[in-house]
Amino acid sequence: MTTSPARPKADTTLWQRLPWVILTLALCLLAGALFNSGQGKQPALEWYAQSGLQQLEWDNYLSWLRFNGQGEQARRLEQQLSQSDRHAYAAALFAHDFVADSDARARDFWTASQREQWKTLRSQVPAQLASSPLYRWGLTDQAPRPAHFFTAPLTGAPLWLTLLALALLVPLAAPLEQRIGHGKTLLVWIAGCLLAGGGYLLLAQPGQLPLHGAAPALLGLFGAAIASQKAALSLTLPGDNGKQLTLPAVTLWALPAALLGALSLQADPLLPTLCAGILALAGGALLVQILLPRESFGASSTEVTPVLTPTQQQELTRGWEALARLDGEAAANAFGNILESEPQQFDALTGQFTALQLAQEELAWQHLANTLFSHPADAPGQATQVSQCWKQFRQRSHTPIETQAGWQLVKTLTRAAEFQQAEALVEQLDDHESRKSAVRTLRQALEKEGLSHRAKALTR
């Protein structure tokens, strides 16, 4: 028997599927771009040039650099000033060693009145920095306080760049947050901020603009989303027909590449900012490999997947090429040829699942879905692919799946760490001999994740 489709609580509601962490970050980043642009002249630098502090110490600072073996840096700062770039003054403004040395040897080059004037002006520096958007919220290469790593994305960068970064993240946001959870998504964001700040400091020179803008840190989320997307990404196109657009996982790397290209158009300085973005991108991709749930949890099958014959391999390739052309009929024929001899071949099953949707063969698609959901899916990456297919099935079909397939699907969703969906399915399915094993697997997984209250709430 199968359950009645009239049980609404079995379906995960829209608000549960939304990527709440990324949505909250997006609102904060947009607010930062709108209300804390950091554009234009920096008040602290203008004050340094006009207050008399620059006149007192700038030549001394350049001499101090040369005396300490930093003549090349002094030359770069002079070149910046010759190009009317007053950000060079930031090098002296944040030069704590120079300030300490000047305080100790002030009598060597300043009169008593000049010493008092210098000390008075230096005491005003913190208040002046607090009035400068980038130096207040962003990261300076001379003062890499960790707190600045997290506020730098909220400062500066053109609004169009922030909007572009968030728009490119849209197709990846929900799959990422559903796959690794809200807390781990936030952890990836924090890591992206730290890595972007560290990458910036690798190449930044004294006197350059501090790190600012959301794009470098957001690239950490791009790396995590794409590296965790083992299967092709299916997107529902706008319209009533609900057509699916399938994007192979490797093509998704074009999204961060486009963002890096856009970032290079306005980055100042260019190389440190690009280094920040690239390091965050790579770090996010590596971090998600640690955060991904273990696909082997609860798996008991040790069977080796049969090796495809050359002919079957050609059919599989032909099927995926047809899907790339959105030719559902040709893809269904190719995958069907494999399934005639290997009805449990996983790649052919997942390909046929998408192909029959494109071909709009509803009855065949329903039957194929039950076969796919009955698959053990215990090889690495397979559980995540099945969970994505299940989401598509729930969105498109109002026909319940077969009970036996449903209880196997509970195990598969558990291995994919889709606990909410697995719990909802437990409440939806009728009793079956495999029910006890599936519920036990889910309960153990919830207890392992520290969700004992949800494990106890499962019906027995």
Instruction: Give me the pLDDT at residue 451, please.
Output: 77
Tell me: the pLDDT tens digits for 345-366? Answer: 898 899 989 989 888 888 888 8
Instruction: Give me the pLDDT at residue 158, please.
Output: 86
- For residue 38, what are the CA distances in angstroms to 131, 136, 238? 11, 10, 37
Helix ranges restricted to H, 152-269: 159-180, 182-203, 215-227, 254-266
CATH topology for 310-457 is 1.25.40
Name 35's Cβ contacts closer than 8 Å, sequence gap at least 6: none
Tell me: the pLDDT tens digits for 138-189? Answer: 877 766 777 788 888 998 888 999 999 999 999 899 888 888 888 899 999 9
Average pLDDT of the segment spanning 71-92? 89
Q: What's the token pair of residue 87?
A: 């950000």
Tell me: the pLDDT tens digits for 102-124? Answer: 999 888 888 999 999 999 999 99
Instruction: Give me the pLDDT at residue 116, please.
Output: 93
Half-sphere exposure of 398 (CA within 13 A, CB side): 4
CA–CA distance, 234 with 335 (Å, rounded to integer) = 18
CA–CA distance, 421 with 10 (Å, rounded to integer) = 8
Instruction: Give me the pLDDT at residue 224, please.
Output: 94
How high does pLDDT run on average in the chain?
A: 84
Tell me: the pLDDT tens digits for 2-52? Answer: 333 333 333 344 565 678 899 999 999 999 888 887 766 788 999 999 999
Instruction: Give me the pLDDT at residue 178, please.
Output: 81
Q: Which CATH architecture has domain 8-37+153-291?
A: Up-down Bundle (1.20)
- Determine the length of the chain: 460
Name 346's Cβ contacts closer than 8 Å, sequence gap at least 6: 305, 375, 377, 379, 382, 385
Q: Where are the domains of the chain?
A: 8-37+153-291, 43-131, 310-457
Instruction: Give me the pLDDT at residue 195, please.
Output: 95
The terminus-to-terminus CA distance of the chain in angstroms comes to 19
Lowest mean pLDDT segment, chosen from 74-88, 289-303, 348-362, 389-403: 289-303
242 neighbors 182 (Cβ within 8 angstroms)? no
Instruction: Give me the pLDDT at residue 194, please.
Output: 93
